[in-house]
Structure 1
Amino acid sequence: MQMQLSAIKPRLTFSQLWNMSFGFFGIQFGFALQNSNSSRIFSTLGASPDDLPWFWLAPPVTGLLIQPIIGYLSDNTWHHKWGRRRPFFFGGAILATLAMFMMPNSTAIWMAVFALWIMDASINVAMEPFRAFVGDKLDPAQQTSGFAMQTFFIGCGSVIASLLPSIFEHFGVSNSVIDGNIPPTVRYSFYVGGLAFISAVAWTVFSSTELPPADLEAFRAERAKRKGVGHAFSEIFSSLVKMPLVMRQLAAVQFFSWASLFIMWVNTTNAVAANVFGTTDAKSDAFQAAGTWVSIMFAVYSGVSALAAFILPVIARKTNRKVLHMICLFIGGASLASIMFITQKEMLLLPMVGVGIAWASILTVPFAILAGSVPPEKMGFYMGAFNFTVVVPQIVMVPVLPFVLSHFLGGRVVATLAFSGACMVIGGLCTLLVKDTVVVSA
């Protein structure tokens, strides 16, 4: 028997969309600080550029393991007060906040890697049900707008989080390595980010409601039959085998898109430090200045994505979603490749505009296409399983990236950003394989 949510899905107001998505504002504090500062932290603690991809293995592996499981568990959860997804929002937020306080206080590489594992696992617990939340609450005609609202908050949270180190430096906080410790600007940024994370998620948890199963008694009876770890893994495996065709088609697009993003997150700090700031010494003030500038660059692409999030649904209605996504990825790929030829720090902000356009589409369009093609009663699981297409390319890049850097790019870290751009363009071409049959209405 298949249990479904209530078939009645009233059109939500702007304020309701705002409240149900606001938690992503806090979640993105965690991801933005992680993405813009992890390589800086590892390098400050003594990591070499060849080692960085291996230390970044934590995020994709935790996502690979956790998101499908959390999706499955949330599909089979119902509490009269907390609902289906919100217990996972809140629990993950508490753990992620604690990990964010821990990471910038690491005094050795192993400590920073451990903290990153804990932080990323907790963020995944909080984040995964948010994607299913849109599928649960919104009619297909409103789902693109729902994911776009999430993208808006992702962009806003990323802008502020990415700028935090430079804001603290502006107010006189030291941005230098003192006695081998992480600069105070980075530590304080993680503290503020942790508080923002828990506060924003709590807003969504306490301001939003959830639709109950259409037949609550039948849902509870079915859930009772599913008890046991063996049954859970059997059902997860069965659902993976039967994944929708659209999900398989999107996998190629996602693979190259997220491989590109992984390369960018791992190597931008070292690339900018060497190509623009003229240093490879991670303990130098010039390298730390490069790290702060990269945070500003990431703030720019996040800000652009927040603005683009409102434009994408309009363009999608006038064209179609897969053509829109292809164009956005082409723009992002060309922008990333151009960084290799820039030697003035201010000029580095221009390609971030193109990256922001691609980022907005990556966070919106594939999820909107997928949401209309999966069974509602398995929305959480398939949104979690779709994360395979996000994390597998990052795992693949861990051994591939150092090999390409040393054997094809002559050890020039900045050249990896051209490689990143090429991957994103290939992802754009792969959108031609996707069959998106859902009509996007107003």
Structure 2
Amino acid sequence: MTDRPDAPTRKPQLTFWQIWNMCFGFLGIQFGFALQNANVSRIFQTLGASIDDIPMLWIAAPLTGLIVQPIVGYLSDRTWTGLGRRRPYFLIGAILATLALIAMPNSPTLWIAAGLLWMLDASINISMEPFRAFVGDQLPQQQRPAGYAMQSFFIGVGSVVASLLPYLLAHLGVGNTAAAGAVPDTVRYSFYFGGAVLLLSVGWTVLRTREYPPQQLQAFDEAPAAKAAPERDRVRCLLFGASWVVVGGICATAISMLRLDRQLYVLAALIAAFGLALLVRGAIRDEHGFARVMDDVGAMPSTMARLAVVQFFSWFALFAMWIYTTPAVTQLHYHTSDTASAAYNEGANWVGVLFAAYNGFAALAAIAIAPMARRWGLRRSHVFNLALGGAGLISVALLRDPQMLLLSMVGVGFAWASILSLPYALLSDSVPAAKMGVFMGIFNFFIVIPQLVAASLLGFLIKHLFGGQPAAALAIGGVSLFVAGACTLWVREPAPRVRA
């Protein structure tokens, strides 16, 4: 891939194996992510966390994404090294995530485990965000659905093995119980293996791919030009920012005076943080990197703004599933919340099997998504898959035989594969190459914010409206996926572009 003056002005089609190599690193990234999703609530409960505390401890995951992904996207758009534009971030994130995976199951206290979750999720985000932009960089428009579907395939395969590991190790004779406050060997060895897989798979992509230089990417750009960022009135930014900070402070004061659940402070903090961002934007010069990112938020394409609503309800549902499936299944199907009991650990291992199942179905669904999108279109395909996921999550709260939950995971798997591919295919067709990374990072806001909202609201709702039954969170998540599907109908699907 060169920047010769006579280089072609259209991106060449890549072969199956070239797409395979550029997406292979996602196998390891998702391996680590799946170990986190299936086992972190278990680790937190083992170290003494109550069900009410779990959402707040999980806040590290979305918050690090909110901070890290736009920064990494902005920087990677402006990076060019001997390793290329995106690949340095793949490698740095993989090394840090591997260290966090090795350390987390050995945490002596709950707060050290929570801190390592921050490190793990931040590191995964450093690698993950440029991978999304990488597909947009490397593939022509007509191959992007296939590229994102390939990522979904590796996400599914990696997650199946990662989620099953504790269950498989237990059946091989590795200890599945431990003294109170200690993490079982099945979990510890799974995390060690996951660290090795993450580092090796990302290393494969770094070594087996090349990147287009910035000049060639500009010549290849198929997207419409980004609209100019609106001119910022600094006085208005300062006034609006101060207003939002005051509103956030009032909300926090009300929560304290009324003695509401402390999780609700997250909502107050989100409101105040938005105001603080406006204050900073009004106070700094236009040339500053933070100012440019804030201006790009105001200049996002209309397709991206509409997809933001879809992503909000989709990721609200996913976060509810990740943090509440273990306590829901162990309580509803195995009739215990005692983390030292054999029944609890058997149920927690079964959750790993269920997570493996939905990721396995997602890998199969990923194979079908590209032809489905060609036949039905990106939008209708996404609506169908989200509806399957909504039905699957609601059924988890209704079924009583834990074996039958495998059927629930079919719908969840189709939704997961779709969420990881089709919104990005819709988005990448409307984003210019020069800002692919920063817009993908901004798009992550609408993945992170719903998770923060879920962390603040779900504990309150479960405690006060649903009698402390964590299965209710899964039903709420199912309804949220149906709402996301309805909102998808509002998104305009781009027409194919043909260049001479």
Shorter-chain TM band: over 0.9
Q: 2:204 aligns to what?
A: 203
Structure 1 equivalent of residue 11 of structure 2 = 9
Aligned twin of 1:293: 350
Q: Deviations over 1:8-45 (max 9, x none)?
A: 41100000000000000000111000000010000111
AA partner of residue 40 (structure 2):
S
* Larger mean Cα displacement after TM superposition, 378-387 or 194-203: 378-387
1:256 alignment partner in structure 2: 313
State how far apart, in whole Å, the 2-side matches of 1:36 and 1:92 are.
Answer: 21
- Structure with larger Rg: 2
**Deviating more after overlay: 364-373 vs 161-170:** 161-170
State the one-letter code of the partner of 2:106. Answer: N
- What does 1:71-86 align with in structure 2 at a 5 Å threshold? 71-79=73-81, 81-86=82-87
Instruction: Say if 1:217 and 1:240 are closer, same or farther in 2 by CA, change over 3 A.
Output: closer
The aligned counterpart of 1:391 is 448
Look up the match of 1:221: none
Task: Give the Cα separation in 2 of the matches to 1:440 and 1:263.
Answer: 38
CA–CA separation in structure 2 for the residues paired with 1:190 and 1:118: 14
Contact 2:180 2:340 in 1 (8 A): no
Shift of 1:291: 0.8
Give the TM-score taking structure 2 as reference length.
0.83
Contact 1:29–1:161, Cα closer than 8 Å, also in 2:
yes
The RMSD of aligned alpha carbons is: 1.9
Partner in structure 1 of residue 24 of structure 2: 22
Residue of structure 2 in register with 1:152 after alignment: 153
**Cα distance in structure 1, aligned partners of 2:340 and 2:443:** 39
Counterparts of 2:468 and 2:475, CA distance in 1: 13
SS at match of 2:288: helix
The separation in 1 between residues aligned to 2:489 and 2:497, in whole angstroms, is 18
Go from structure 1 to structure 2 and tell me whether the alpha carbon gap of 1:178 and 1:413 turns closer, same or farther (over 3 Å shift). Answer: same
Provide closer, same or farther for how the CA distance between residues 217 and 67 of structure 1 changes in structure 2, counting only shifts above 3 A: closer
Contact 2:46 2:180 (8 Å CA) reproduced: no
1:241 deviation in Å? 1.1
Q: Distance in 1 between matches of 2:485 and 2:325?
A: 22
Alignment of 1:339-350 (within 5 A): 339-350=396-407
Q: 1:209 to 1:285 in 2, by over 3 A?
A: same
Q: Which amino acid aligns with 1:37?
A: N
Give 1:174-193 correspondences, 5 Å limit.
174-193=175-194
What amino acid sits opposite 1:265 in the alignment? W
Q: Distance in 1 between matches of 2:286 and 2:194?
A: 35
State which drifts further: 406-415 or 128-137: 406-415
Shift of 1:229: 11
Secondary structure of the residue aligned to 1:210 is coil
- 5+ residue gaps, structure 2, are 220-284
* Aligned equivalent of 1:96: 97
Moved over 2 A (4+): 5-8, 177-180, 215-218, 438-441
- Partners of 2:334 and 2:496 in 1: CA distance: 49
Give 2:303's aligned residue: 246
For normalisation by structure 1, the TM-score amounts to 0.94
Residue 388 (structure 1) shift = 0.6
CA distance change for structure 1 residues 362 and 264 in 2, over 3 Å: closer, same or farther? same
Which one of the candidate residues 481, 491, 496 is aligned to 1:424? 481
Counterpart of 1:40?
Answer: 42
Residue-by-residue CA offset, 1:346-372 (whole Å, 9 max, x unaligned):
111110011000001000100000000
Q: Which one of 57, 60, 63 corresponds to residue 58 of structure 1?
A: 60
Which whole-Å CA distance do the structure 2 matches of 1:130 and 1:217 have between them? 19
Contact 1:369 1:438 (8 Å CA) reproduced: no
Partner of 1:131: 132
Question: How far did 1:172 drift?
Answer: 0.6
Q: Tell me the residue number matched to 1:406.
A: 463
SS at match of 2:492: coil
Rounded to whole Å, the distance in 2 between the matches of 1:302 and 1:369 is 22
CA shift, 1:171, in A, is 1.1
User: Secondary structure of the equivalent of 1:49?
Assistant: coil
Q: 1:338 to 1:216 in 2, by over 3 A?
A: closer
Deviation track 1:205-258 (CA, whole Å, cap 9, x = no partner) reads 00000011226999xxxxxxxxx9962112111111101111100011100000
Give yes or no for contact 1:332–1:421 (8 Å, CA) kept in 2. Answer: yes
Indicate conservation of the 8 Å contact 1:316/1:440, yes or no.
Answer: no
More off after superposition, 352-361 vs 316-325: 316-325
Instruction: Kindly provide the amino acid, as one letter, of the partner of residue 64 in structure 2.
Output: T
Give the conservation status (yes or no) of the 8 Å contact 1:32–1:161.
yes
| Structural mapping, 1:292-311, within 5 Å | 292-311=349-368
Q: 1:131 to 1:395 in 2, by over 3 A?
A: same
Partner of 2:171: 170
Number of aligned positions between the proteins:
428
2:45 is paired with a residue whose SS is: helix
2:398 maps to a residue whose letter is F
1:298-337 residue pairs with structure 2 within 5 A? 298-337=355-394
Conservation of the 8 A alpha-carbon contact between 1:6 and 1:212: no
SS in 1 for 2:143: helix
**Partner in structure 1 of residue 72 of structure 2:** 70
Residues 135-172 of structure 1 show CA distances to partners (whole Å, capped at 9, x for unaligned) of 10000010000000000000000001001101111111
One-letter code aligned to 1:248: A
CA deviation after TM superposition for structure 1 residue 439, in Å: 3.2
Match of 2:162 in 1: 161
Identity %: 52
CA deviation string 1:297-324 (max 9, x = no partner):
0000001111111111101111111111
Determine helix, strand or coil for the equivalent of 1:380. helix
Asked if the contact 2:218–2:434 (Cα under 8 Å) also holds between the matched residues in 1, the reply is no
CA contact (8 A) 2:386 2:485 kept: yes
SS class of match (1:47): coil
Does the Cα contact within 8 Å between 1:141 and 1:440 map onto a contact in 2?
A: no
1:277 to 334, 345, 357: 334
Quote the offset at 1:179 in angstroms: 4.7
How many angstroms does 1:440 deviate by?
Answer: 9.3
Q: Does 1:358 align with 2:360?
A: no
C-alpha separation between the residues in 2 aligned to 1:139 and 1:265? 34
For 1:47 and 1:187, the matched residues in 2 are separated by 19
Alignment correspondent of 1:222:
none
Whole-angstrom CA distance in 1 between matches of 2:467 and 2:20: 48
SS in 1 for 2:335: coil
Deviations 1:98-137 (A, max 9, x none): 0000111012110110000000000000111000000100
The structural deviation recorded for 1:78 is 0.7
